[in-house]
Amino acid sequence: MKYCSSVYGSPRRLTRVVDVGGVHLGGSNPVRLQSMLTCDTMDTEACIRQTLELVEVGCEIVRITAPTVKDAANLENVSKGLRARGCHVPLVADIHFKPEAAMEAAKWVEKVRINPGNYADSKKFKIIEYTDEQYLQELGRIRERFTPLVQFCKEHGRAMRIGTNHGSLSDRIMNRYGDTPLGMVESALEFARIARELDYHQFVFSMKASNPKVMIAAYRLLVARLNELGDDWNYPVHLGVTEAGDGEDGRIKSAIGIGSLLGDGIGDTVRVSLTEDSIHEIPVARALVELIRPVGAPVADAEPSYDPFSYARRPTETLQIGDARLGGEELVRVAVRQQTYDQVAHKIDRMGDYQPEFVVESSGAIAVDPRSDEEIQGLSVLASPALITVRDGLDLPVVPAYRLLAARVPGRHPILLKETLAPATEAGDFLPNLLGAAANIGALLCDGIGDAVLVQGEPAPGQSLRLAYNILQAAGTRIFKTDYVACPSCGRTLFNLQSTTARIKEATSHLKGVKIAIMGCIVNGPGEMADADFGYVGGAPGKINLYVGKTAVKFNIPEAEAVDRLKDLIREHGRWVDAPAPAEPAHV
């Protein structure tokens, strides 16, 4: 199976065009920018105000949750209010659980997003072994529930997103395919087949997950399956990492997942999901789309060193460089140039978790052109493993260059990743540096390539070191601090996500290696928390449910007490340690 023409350079995937209220997705159209409202759908004026604010900063499609038929009906007022103010941005109704709400919403909006995992299924984490006959019966039930919406959208010119979430796969899919990228793809294809049987084609796909590795594998597998199914399965794709979080961590995680796919030519519309006000999502999405473009023609050809649909770290031998061991099963290490080390040497003992681990100039690293047969042959005759990297100054895109290096270099040699082959000489805008570094290094780490990383496009030494470590954390490669899965707010949210996330971080950010999920409602909660150690989930207005893994263990806790109860739960499971005394600021 192939998801792009070449992993060493691929043009943008050519899709059919889907019309969303006059905004065209796919084909040769620009990659469109989306966001979602955070306010109550019943608050018409707030919805109008937030939509206008989003449009002002460049949002091209606006999504609004419609959890009930009553909420869906109020979309009429929101739509009419916007049109009366001269705003014609397409609106998307976000539907979970209630087909009746979808039918009502479709009257008033230009697009309906349905989640195959819960549109016609309930999720109770039941273990049921379905016979083929029983499975077909279930598909018949889904067809009966889904058909009216498809027919209405077809007759009234509405578009649709068939949007699978890793965190909300149905019990039926989970029992047949597991909590896997394959399950995500099959869940979406079941609904797409029903739409196609009814000759409805105005839909797009999405495969969202909070784990970039899962998200990347799911989208690749989806596109590969669409390619296998035939040329007329060329539907556009909407990209997003769900529950990415806030601040630098949320931007880095989004850049890894979205950037990896954009670079391979996949993606027709993008939403960056941040636990912040929605207007902050659009500049990040725009910067990503402008920064990460398909390479086009391949730089070379070779059998890839990795399986694009299943993560495995590239096997190498181990090296000792100064005090750092790398390669093999060792941690992926953080390197710096000598100049950077000299700038921070006097305060290393105050830099906490963001310390340099070795200096490139003292490492014996060998820089090569991965296209050169002579240079690759020279590595083959080395008696011992060496640290290998791509030479600076080459006219090569970073990701294809390192993929080619990994394919051609003998497997025993560890690889040093760099996010750019043109080291920075002066300070610039940090956001492009952050997004470019995360997209390039993160994509390669998710391919299983890389034993050490060097961020050299950001000249500020403290920021470059912090960025390198945070990319390793976001890619799931090296967990050195508390990990948070935090959803963006929407009209379903039962508490203030931004302030609550801040309070939870303040109380728990010293718990290295503990993963905490913060979910505003139950829609994706249990599933997205499958990888988390503990979860904090809105159960009802003012009430919180606490989870261990995907199992709810404490119910209806008053919100004022919930953070302390979360700390107690972490203690009960032996994962709590007291925070160390505050250290003197390092000012790096």
Residues annotated within the binding site for [4Fe-4S] cluster are 487, 490, 521, 528
Q: Which residues contact 181 (CB under 8 A, 6 or more apart)?
A: 207, 214, 217, 218, 221, 309
- Size of the chain, expressed as the number of residues it contains: 588
- Distance between CA 254 and CA 271 in Å, rounded? 9
Residue written as tokens 């690889």?
415
Residue 82 · residue 51 · CB < 8 Å: yes
User: Quick check: 492 and 383 in contact, CB under 8 A?
Assistant: no
Determine whether 21 is exposed, middle or buried from the number of CB atoms within 10 Å of its CB (0-12, 13-18, 19+): middle
* Rounded Cα distance, 118 and 94, in Å: 12
| Cα radius of gyration (the chain) | 24
**Residues 35 and 271 sit within 8 Å (Cβ to Cβ):** yes
Q: Do 367 and 401 contact (CB within 8 A), yes or no?
A: no
Which residues contribute to the annotated binding site?
Answer: 487, 490, 521, 528
Distance (Å, rounded) from C-alpha 536 to C-alpha 548? 9
Give yes or no for a contact between 36 and 53, defined as CB atoms under 8 angstroms apart.
no
- Residue 443: C-alpha distances to residues 189, 252, 529 (Å): 26, 11, 23
Element (H, E) at 141: helix 132-156
The Cα 309–Cα 298 span in angstroms is: 20
Beta strand spans in 260-332 (E): 269-270, 319-321, 324-326
List, in order, residues 6 or more apart from 299 with CB less than 8 Å away.
8, 9, 371, 396, 397, 400, 401, 404
List the beta strands (DSSP E) in 383-542: 388-390, 416-418, 452-454, 483-486, 515-519, 534-540
CB 344 within 8 A of CB 463: no
Beta strands 32-36 and 23-25 are unpaired
Q: 455: which 2 tokens?
A: 């961020």
Nearest to 441 by CA among 210, 290, 260, 215: 260
The set of residues, in sequence order, having a beta carbon less than 8 Å from that of 195 and lying 6+ positions away, is: 150, 160, 162, 201, 203
**Helix, strand counts (H, E) of the chain:** 17, 23
